[in-house]
Every structure is written in structure tokens, then in C-alpha cells.
């Protein structure tokens, strides 16, 4: 784990980069929510980031997140995002652990969420697999509209999320981010939902994502350093 002062410094640097990227696209930095991807990071690292001003944390594994949240129960104004795949059989623990689910990808999962968390409806984003990668979860772009219509009465759909195919060049992700934004715009017009959130961009390409309209970026390594083995 990095020292708390180093985590704080790296957090400031990421916020500066967010501000610069927002400026390049004539946006306010306040339009971009920084979610710290804290998978495998110890609770002490999350606490150090919290003390430096971070309030949003993204976890991939439900059991790991539940353990950390129990240890960090005093961070009462932190918001916890599930950014990893959610299996229906783990819905109950996920609803107790997370405030926002960013990886809704089926009507079946929406049903499972609604059974456990009927009121108020759980806040979710729909994960879109734009690259058609079999190794990744997420719904195909052509299927998002039908999922919205089937799930909108069960959960509160905030917007869309994507993870672009890996590339050595951050600019290669730009077309996927632009595609997600265009998809959101079309679906918002058709559905009447705001779909105001676009969660896209990680450590390697979050600045490009902001230039293409991201309202949430999921950054881990740039703040916490390399993941513990």
C-alpha cells in the first residue's frame, strides 16, 4: 500500500487531469464524478483516499466489498459502486453492500434486484458490451433499448456503462466512448428517461472518455498504485 500522503498527492493529480480534460471539451470538472476502483486495495488505502476527499469507491467483488464496508462503516457519506459482474445468487448481499450497481445486463438480474430492493428502486447503470467481447459481461448495443423497457419499472436506470476492448493506445477507445454517448442520446430521446450518467474511462483512457462525455470515470491504479498481489 502507498503511504497516505502519496495517495492524497496522486488523487490531486488525477483531479487536475480531470479538470484539464473537462476544460478541453468545454465542460465543468463538476460534471465528472471520480470513482476510485479499489479492488484488492486494503481498507486503509480507501480510508486514506477518503481523508483526501474521495467519496466514491468502486469494487468488483461483492464479498470483498462487504468486508471492507464493514471495516469502514464510519465513512457514512461514501458511495459504493459495484463495477464488477453481479450474479443473481449474490443479489441479496450486493443490495446490502452497494449504493449503485453499474453492471445491470439482463431482465433476470433486474427482477432479482427488485425482489430484494423494491423500494426505493435500486440505482443502476446498464453495462453495454460495445466490443462484442465474449470474455466480458454486458448487453449488446442493439439490446439495450429492450432491456430499458423491461427493467425501468423495477430499477432506477441512471445511464450506461462500458469497458472498451483493451488497447495499447488510449485514443483507440475514443470511438467506443463516442458510440456509448450517441447510444445514450438516442435511447434517452426514445424512452423519456434522462439517462444522464455515462460511466466510461479508466486509468489508461479516462481523459479521452471525459472529452467524449463521461460523467463517471473509474480510476484505480493512478491513485492507489499497482494492485497488491
| pLDDT tens-digit readout, 73-99 | 999 999 999 999 998 899 999 999 999
Instruction: Work out how many domains the chain is built from and give that number.
Output: 1
CATH of residue 101's domain is 3.20.20.10
Q: What's the grid cell of residue 166?
A: 483493451
pLDDT value at position 134? 78
Q: Which domain holds residue 110?
A: 4-224
Q: Is residue 229 domain-resident? A: no
Average pLDDT, the chain: 95
229 — pLDDT class (breaks 50, 70, 90): low
Q: Which residues of 130-140 are buried (b: 16+ CB within 10 A; e: fewer)?
A: bbeeeebbbbe
User: Grid coordinates 472529452 are at which residue?
Assistant: 211
Residues contacting residue 160 through CB under 8 Å, at least 6 positions apart: 125, 126, 127, 128, 144, 180, 183, 184, 187, 195, 197, 198, 199
Cα angle value 82/84/90 (rounded, 5°): 75
pLDDT value at position 63? 96
- pTM of the complete model: 0.95
Pairing assessment for the beta strands 79-82 and 156-162 based on DSSP bridges: unpaired
Amino acid at each position: 500500500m502507498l503511504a497516505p500522503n502519496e495517495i492524497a498527492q496522486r488523487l490531486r493529480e488525477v483531479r487536475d487531469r480531470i479538470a484539464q480534460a473537462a476544460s478541453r471539451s468545454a465542460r465543468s470538472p463538476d460534471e465528472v464524478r471520480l470513482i476510485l476502483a479499489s479492488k484488492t486495495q486494503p481498507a486503509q488505502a480507501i480510508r486514506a483516499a477518503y481523508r483526501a476527499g474521495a467519496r466514491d469507491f468502486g469494487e468488483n467483488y461483492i464479498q470483498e466489498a462487504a468486508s471492507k464496508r464493514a471495516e469502514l462503516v464510519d465513512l457514512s457519506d461514501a458511495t459504493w459502486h459495484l463495477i464488477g459482474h453481479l450474479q443473481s445468487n449474490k443479489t441479496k448481499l450486493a443490495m446490502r453492500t452497494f449504493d449503485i450497481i453499474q453492471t445491470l445486463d439482463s431482465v433476470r438480474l433486474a427482477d432479482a434486484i427488485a425482489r430484494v430492493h423494491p423500494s426505493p428502486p435500486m440505482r443502476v447503470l446498464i453495462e453495454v458490451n460495445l466490443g462484442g467481447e465474449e470474455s466480458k459481461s454486458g448487453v449488446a448495443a442493439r439490446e439495450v433499448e429492450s432491456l430499458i423497457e423491461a427493467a425501468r419499472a423495477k430499477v432506477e436506470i441512471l445511464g450506461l456503462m462500458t469497458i472498451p476492448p483493451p488497447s495499447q493506445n488510449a485514443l483507440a477507445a475514443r470511438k467506443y466512448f463516442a458510440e456509448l454517448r450517441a447510444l445514450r442520446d438516442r435511447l434517452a430521446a426514445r424512452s423519456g428517461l434522462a439517462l444522464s450518467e455515462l460511466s466510461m474511462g479508466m486509468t489508461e483512457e479516462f481523459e479521452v472518455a471525459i472529452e467524449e462525455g463521461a460523467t463517471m470515470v473509474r480510476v484505480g491504479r493512478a491513485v492507489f498504485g499497482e494492485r497488491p498481489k
